[in-house]
Amino acid sequence: MTVSVAAKSPGILSRRAFLSGTMVCLSGTLAHAMKVADLRGSIDAGELGLLPNASDDQSTLFQNAINRAVEKGRALFLPAGTYPVANLRLPTGTLIVGVPGKTRLVYLGGGGLLARGEGVSDIGISGVTFDGANRSIGDFTEGLLHFVGARNLSLDNCEIAGSAKTGVVLDRCSGRVANCRISGAAEAGLRSNEAAGLMITGNSVTDCANGGIWIHRWRDGEDGTLVSGNRVERIGAKYGGTGQFGNGINIFRAHGVVVTGNRITDCAFSAIRSNTGSNVQIVNNSCLRSGETAIYSEFSFQGAVISNNIVDGGTTGISIANFQDGGRLAICSGNLIRNISEVGPYPAEVAGFGIGIAAEADTTITGNVIEGVPRFGMLLGWGPYMRNIVASQNVLRDCGTGIAVTVVNGAGAAVITNNVVQGSTNGSINGYRWLDKATGELDSANEFGHLTVDGNQTLA
């Protein structure tokens, strides 16, 4: 279907065409595009007295412009320039369009925040830069932009920079954050709490002090957020700890989250860390130079698919852990893991650092390639915490010990078959009691009834 704009006023034609295309991006639906095409032009902020590059506080004028545009059912167009503002409220139906990279809303400080939407719906913002200027944000909010219970929210092609807290906070929201650039946040770049149908895609999140993208819930529950195609770089851990902070993508208590096609580099701790996230999918991601475990599925999760990822750098490639807390049920397949280090960001605990893949319960580990791991290419189980592990058709090269499997009394079954292990300096396939080597080579050995070890190729 073709929508004609020829009969519209010539004065609004170019802006109309621009806005129509922008709103198509915001919604991704033909119905919404048609709705925008039927608008009789946007409202230029200048027509409402809001002028770019003013030196004084524009908050009151800006809020009035938003309200007037909503009342008329039109988008508010912001010409290029700087607008000093604070404490903005975005009512239902707000549509704001700026000139990407040139329309800047600069936070004035004073304890407020830049933009807030609470219990609203159908919010669309495109092409706007939100600059926190590193000014203090009050205690009543945790982000430069903060939305609570917002439905059908769309942030597209925006920039969020210099927040003294988190860049964007979304509490119980649905919609999407797409193609945005988030940088310089003093906490996380983007945090979602108890999402109600959220997509986070195609964004760049860089140089944040404590986290990149957080998908959290206050209580365990189905979440279903889609995190795809993002670039996350240089994430710090200002608050320290042993992994609570410093992660590129962090999932906490959120079930059914899909993390796919992201490129995550130079994080102080994990590239992707899922804590108590059941039915999580971590697939087709590139995780480079992690400061600790590159990909983590830990604590009381049930169900994880970790497949076809590239891990280059880190202290452990992939850890599927905490059977003692109920962590179980996983597929780990088709991953490439290399260049793992024994040097971590804190004194080594439990099994320590320098491990390719570690897993404990109800997990199949198949078709992975692991190279350059100083301690254990694979660590299967930990003490008595092992049940139903299959490690088959993997290639392990240049590892300290190729495959270490627990032989502590009480450990459950493990099947280790048809793997290729080459160049291990401390044994190819060995039994361990905790961190102590307890056996010689195990291939085809049957002294441990809980182990099936057969058909493996061990090469010098």
- Assess if residue 353 is contained within a domain: yes
User: Which residues does residue 182 pair with via DSSP β-bridges, in sequence order?
Assistant: 160, 205
**In whole angstroms, what is the distance from residue 458 CA to residue 394 CA?**
12
Cα 94 from chain centroid (whole Å): 27
Secondary structure of the chain in the HEC alphabet? CCCCCCCCCHHHHHHHHHHHHHHHHHHCCHHHHHHHHCCCCCEEHHHHCCCCCCCCCCHHHHHHHHHHHHHHCCCEECCCEEEEECCEECCCCCEEECCCCCEEEEECCCECCCEEEECCEEEEEECCEEECCCCCECCCCCEEEEEECCEEEEEECCEEECCCCEEEEEECCCEEEECCEEECCCCEEEEEECCCCEEEECCEEEEECCEEEEEEEEEEEECCCEEECCEEEEECCCCCCCCCCCEEEEEEEEECCEEECCEEEEECCCCEEEECCCCEEEECCEEECCCCEEEEEECCCEEEEEECCEEECCCEEEEECCHHHCCEEEEEECCEEECCCCCCCCCCCCCCCCEEEEECEEEEEECCEEEEEEEEEEEECECCECEEEEEECCEEEEEEEEEEEECCCCCCCEEEECCEEECCCCCCEEEEECCEEEEEECCCCCCCCCEEEECCEEEC
- Assess if residue 229 is contained within a domain: yes
Q: Please choose, from the candidates 204, 193, 194, the residue with its C-alpha nearest in 3D space to the C-alpha of residue 230.
A: 204
Mean pLDDT of all residues in the chain?
91
State the pLDDT at residue 117: 84
Confidence of residue 443 (pLDDT cuts 50, 70, 90): confident
Token pair belonging to 46? 């200048």
Cα 458 from chain centroid (whole Å): 38
Confidence of residue 146 (pLDDT cuts 50, 70, 90): very high
Residue written as token pair 């480079």: 288
| Mean pLDDT for the stretch of residues 222-230 | 98
Token pair belonging to 73? 């059912």
- Assess if residue 406 is contained within a domain: yes
Instruction: Give every CB contact of residue 45 below 8 A, 6+ residues apart in sequence.
Output: 62, 65, 76, 77, 78, 79
**Total structural domains within the chain:** 1
- Which range among 35-44, 175-184, 213-222, 347-356 shows the weakest confidence by mean pLDDT? 35-44
- Assess if residue 355 is contained within a domain: yes
Do residues 168 and 177 make contact, with C-beta atoms less than 8 angstroms apart?
yes
End-to-end CA distance of the chain: 67
Q: Indicate whether 40 pLDDT > 50.
A: no
CATH number, domain containing residue 149 = 2.160.20
Range of the domain at 399: 77-459
Q: Please choose, from the candidates 209, 301, 288, 323, the residue with its C-alpha nearest in 3D space to the C-alpha of residue 257.
A: 301
Left if phi > 0, otherwise alpha if psi is -120 to 50, otherwise beta: which for 157? left
Rg (CA), the chain: 26
- Assess if residue 33 is contained within a domain: no
Residues 335-376 have pLDDT tens digits of: 999 999 999 999 988 899 999 999 999 999 999 999 999 999
Residues 232-284 have pLDDT tens digits of: 999 999 999 999 999 999 999 999 999 999 999 999 999 999 999 999 999 99
Query: What is the Cβ-side half-sphere exposure of residue 7, based on CA atoms within 13 angstroms?
Result: 6
**In whole angstroms, what is the distance from residue 401 CA to residue 100 CA?**
53
Residue written as token pair 């992975």: 368
- Assess if residue 7 is contained within a domain: no
User: Which residues does residue 77 pair with via DSSP β-bridges, in sequence order?
Assistant: 44, 97
Show the CA angle centred on residue 299, arms to residues 293 and 300, nearest 5°: 150
Residues 43-78 have pLDDT tens digits of: 999 999 999 999 999 999 999 999 999 999 999 999
**In whole angstroms, what is the distance from residue 200 CA to residue 163 CA?**
19
| Mean pLDDT for the stretch of residues 203-231 | 98
Q: Indicate whether 23 pLDDT > 60.
A: no
- Assess if residue 49 is contained within a domain: no
Residue % of the chain over a pLDDT of 90: 86
Q: Please choose, from the candidates 173, 25, 204, 202, the residue with its C-alpha nearest in 3D space to the C-alpha of residue 90.
A: 173
pTM of the model: 0.91
- Assess if residue 418 is contained within a domain: yes
How, if at all, do strands 436-441 and 429-433 pair?
antiparallel
Q: What are the CA-CA distances from residue 223 to residues 198, 254, 278, 305, 454 (Å)?
A: 9, 5, 10, 16, 41
